[in-house]
Amino acid sequence: MSWFSSSKQSATASSGEPNFWPVSSLQTGYGELSDKDTAWACATNRGFQTETQIWYSVLADGSLLLLQVIWSFIGVWPVPAQTQMTFKLYNPTTKKSIWRSLSATGFTVDAKDGRSCKTNEYEIKHTGSASGSETYTIHAQLDKTTTLSLNLVRPADAPGFKLGKGEEGGYSRFGKNMGDDGFVIHRFHPHVQSSGQIMIDGKVIDAKGEAMFVAAIQGLRPDAVASRWNFAFFTTTQASEDEKLGSVRAIQMEFETPDNYGAKGPKSGRVKSNIGCIYSSKIGQPLVVCSQTGPDDAATVYGVTRPEPVSSGDICRATHTSTAKDPETGYDGPTGLKFEWVGKQIGQPGKQVKASLEVATSMDVGKGGLIEKVNVLNEIPYLVRKALSSITGTKPYIFQFHNEATLNVTTGDEESIPVKGWLFNEATFVSP
């Protein structure tokens, strides 16, 4: 589908039939990853494609490290694909944020491995396999002052996941015929360890930390995928590992469709699709993988496609418990958030796992953990940015927060365990 046009359904009233098929209603439960799942696809025969791989790490002092590679193709020949690397390091004590964005040239992927890639400015070397441990070694010269030399390791006993098994696991589909318009997919490595060095202005920063990795593809224009996103990454640090649960990760990824896509066709109401997980190094990696489609009336529409769609008991949701109008962006940003996970414990279906956390935030940078209000169009490759801003008028913003938080975890009939750690979360607004 060309980026010049919206969905064929965009100006049409509700047809009564779904034109969006959320993974949270098509699939359920833990799906193991294959080596192919985290390989670069770099498809140039399917219209607009945005592909990204992101590492997040919380360092020993609570600092946040974010490193993202974005590959984008706007679906118009002979315009070539664009590649961008973005880097952020935020210190919650000093409130100082260092950001770099690099338009890379000469992007190539190792044809044999599919996960190693290089440009004239950086190289990412992958070793290992989905069935064992995996390591990404990254060397990057972002500018004259900033150099990265990082190792990111997923241990063999902490396998990655997607929602649902097999080749269709992880996919949300757009269009009346389940994919005519495009798709979205996410694959995760929730438990990763980072190490290495970051050099900024001659100062060396130790990159040892607790990390995660996500690989995602959006197979249609970003503003057609979602009107809203919520993302959460909670982790303990080495100093805060829990006595019973060990090192803990909790992740959520939620998106809400724009008006063009719904459970009963365009303009029938927006649909939320949320997937999440809890990992515990001592009792389960993963401990639980859960999902939820909302609102409830939309979830019911998809009931025939998923086993136990309503009675499965899964809860996986992000709630903006309070909001405030942000004069800078015009959006109602969150000043309070709650994340919840409920699902069956993997390997012990008779046990239910429950987890939740709440955090107070702010619309003022430097308060309530607000790192930055990111103008997304500044983060993506130039040609993609021009295409989206000129054709669609889209002005997406990401509110990025980083706070100390407590995740309350309950397994079965046991008492709730308060787990101390850090929460990095993003609230993204793509369109009103």
Pull the structure tokens for residue 130: 């989905």
Output the CA angle 198-205-95, nearest 5 degrees.
Answer: 105
262 and 349 Cβ atoms separated by less than 8 Å: no
pLDDT per residue as tens, the chain (432 positions): 222 233 344 445 566 899 999 999 999 999 999 999 999 999 887 778 899 999 999 999 999 999 999 998 887 766 788 899 999 999 999 999 999 999 999 999 999 999 999 999 999 999 999 999 999 999 999 999 999 999 999 999 999 999 999 999 999 999 988 888 999 999 999 999 999 999 999 999 999 999 999 999 999 887 789 999 999 999 999 899 999 999 999 999 999 999 999 999 999 999 999 999 999 999 989 999 999 999 988 878 876 444 444 445 799 999 999 999 999 999 999 999 999 999 999 999 889 999 999 999 999 999 999 999 998 877 665 555 555 555 455 688 999 999 999 999 999 999 999 999 999 999 999 887
Give dist(CA 145, CA 61) in Å, integer: 22
CATH 2.40.50.140 is right for the domain spanning 20-429: no
**In what helix (H) or strand (E) does residue 224 lie, and over which residues does it extend?**
helix 222-225
Q: Where are the alpha helices (DSSP H) in 351-396?
A: 382-391
Q: Which residues contact 266 (CB under 8 A, 6 or more apart)?
A: 7, 9, 10, 12, 13, 14, 15, 19, 259, 260
Give dist(CA 211, CA 207) in Å, integer: 10
pTM over 0.85: yes
Other C-beta atoms within 10 Å of 132: how many? 11
Give dist(CA 231, CA 216) in Å, integer: 13
Give dist(CA 302, CA 28) in Å, integer: 13
Q: Which residues contact 139 (CB under 8 A, 6 or more apart)?
A: 122, 123, 148, 149, 150
